[in-house]
């Protein structure tokens, strides 16, 4: 990493100020794949000028906009809300928009590749349809019966707290594609689907918990979890994914939810 001082008139000597105005060269080693060009993926390196507070997404933008317009990746909000820019960065699933260069040792090439377990369409873009198929199967919506409600369905804070953690999911697939079971068994529902089932199973207003538990009781459902905690570590929203999966398992046995 070669530092470059952008403001040579700064004579304050403050290390903090120097860090704020300095830039450096950072290299991204990206796994490229274009089925229209070649059948096999390959690695390609690009070096750009960046700041420590820049994100991996900023570096990818610089490569795409200034060096190679064919580089393909997903991104939308760029603020950790949409979840569209999940990718493997130095061997870990992360959101490119939330990963600062200074936090991942830019002295060495930063390795960027598509998340695992889903078909790669091009470069860092994977086919999310298998992921969303599992999500749809657990019926991610409120199920009720009886007459149409005539007033707000009041819920206590304690009832809300029961499933509050799993409402944070942004469907980025970082947890599911970090799961070794999912890598080797494409039929496994995966952590994200189970997390979203948890969100409704434990919602006191919902009446579809039994139906969801039956779906997850399948041989490729919740029992395939091996409790490796990869999913919890990968979640960019800090959801206790493994804990949620264990609570669904317990509900499956006790039918108490």
CATH label of the domain that carries residue 105? 3.10.20.30
Whether residue 205 is found in the same domain as residue 220: yes
The whole-number pLDDT of residue 187 equals 87
Total domains, the chain: 2
The whole-number pLDDT of residue 212 equals 97
Whether residue 114 is found in the same domain as residue 75: yes
Is residue 86 over pLDDT 60?
yes
For residues 232-257, give the mean pLDDT.
95
At 201-214, the pLDDT tens digits run 999 999 999 999 99
Pick from 51, 68, 47, 67: nearest CA to 110: 47
Is residue 54 over pLDDT 50?
yes
Whether residue 122 is found in the same domain as residue 135: no
Domain assignment present for 13: no
Is residue 11 over pLDDT 70?
no
Whether residue 120 is found in the same domain as residue 168: no
Domain assignment present for 36: yes
Contact 206, 200 (CB under 8 A): yes
The whole-number pLDDT of residue 150 equals 87
CA atoms within 13 A on the CB side of 63: 22
Whether residue 24 is found in the same domain as residue 119: yes
Pick from 117, 102, 128: nearest CA to 23: 102
Entry pTM: 0.87
Is residue 18 over pLDDT 70?
no
Residue 93 belongs to domain spanning: 3-8+19-126
Whether residue 99 is found in the same domain as residue 164: no
Reported as a pLDDT band with limits 50, 70 and 90, residue 21 is low
For residues 92-106, give the mean pLDDT.
95
Instruction: Round the average pLDDT of the chain to a whole number and report it.
Output: 91
Domain assignment present for 152: no
Q: Is 110 helix (H, G, I), strand (E, B) or coil?
A: strand
The whole-number pLDDT of residue 220 equals 87
User: Residue 34 corresponds to which tokens in the numbers above?
Assistant: 């274009």
Whether residue 119 is found in the same domain as residue 168: no
CATH label of the domain that carries residue 178? 1.10.1060.10
Whether residue 71 is found in the same domain as residue 136: no
Domain assignment present for 151: no
Whether residue 175 is found in the same domain as residue 243: yes
Report DSSP state, residue 205: T
For residues 138-150, give the mean pLDDT.
91
The whole-number pLDDT of residue 1 equals 53
Whether residue 32 is found in the same domain as residue 63: yes
Whether residue 106 is found in the same domain as residue 133: no
Angle at 134 between CA 73 and CA 77, to 5 degrees: 35
The whole-number pLDDT of residue 146 equals 87
């Amino acid at each position: 990493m070669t530092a470059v001082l952008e403001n040579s008139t700064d004579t304050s000597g403050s290390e903090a100020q120097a860090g704020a105005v300095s830039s450096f060269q950072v290299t991204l080693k990206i796994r490229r794949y274009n089925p229209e060009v070649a059948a096999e993926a390959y690695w390609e390196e690009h070096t750009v000028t960046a700041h420590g507070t820049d994100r991996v997404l900023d570096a990818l933008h610089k490569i795409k906009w200034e060096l190679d317009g064919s580089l393909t990746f997903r991104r939308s909000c760029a603020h950790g809300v949409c979840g569209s820019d999940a990718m493997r960065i130095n061997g870990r699933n992360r959101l490119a928009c939330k990963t600062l260069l200074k936090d991942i040792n830019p002295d060495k090439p930063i390795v960027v590749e598509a998340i695992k377990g889903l078909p790669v369409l091009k470069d860092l873009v994977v086919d999310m349809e298998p992921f969303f198929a599992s999500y749809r199967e657990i019926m991610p919506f409120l199920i009720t019966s009886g007459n149409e409600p005539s007033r707000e369905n009041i819920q206590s804070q304690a009832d809300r707290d029961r499933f509050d953690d799993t409402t944070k999911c942004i469907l980025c697939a970082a947890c599911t594609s970090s799961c070794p079971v999912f890598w080797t068994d494409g039929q496994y529902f995966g952590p994200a689907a189970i997390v979203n089932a948890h969100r409704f199973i434990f919602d006191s207003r919902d009446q579809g918990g039994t139906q969801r538990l039956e779906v997850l009781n399948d041989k490729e459902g919740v029992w395939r979890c091996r409790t490796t905690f990869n999913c919890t570590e990968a979640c960019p929203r800090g959801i206790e994914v493994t804990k949620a999966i264990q609570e669904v398992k317990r509900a499956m046995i006790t039918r108490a939810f």
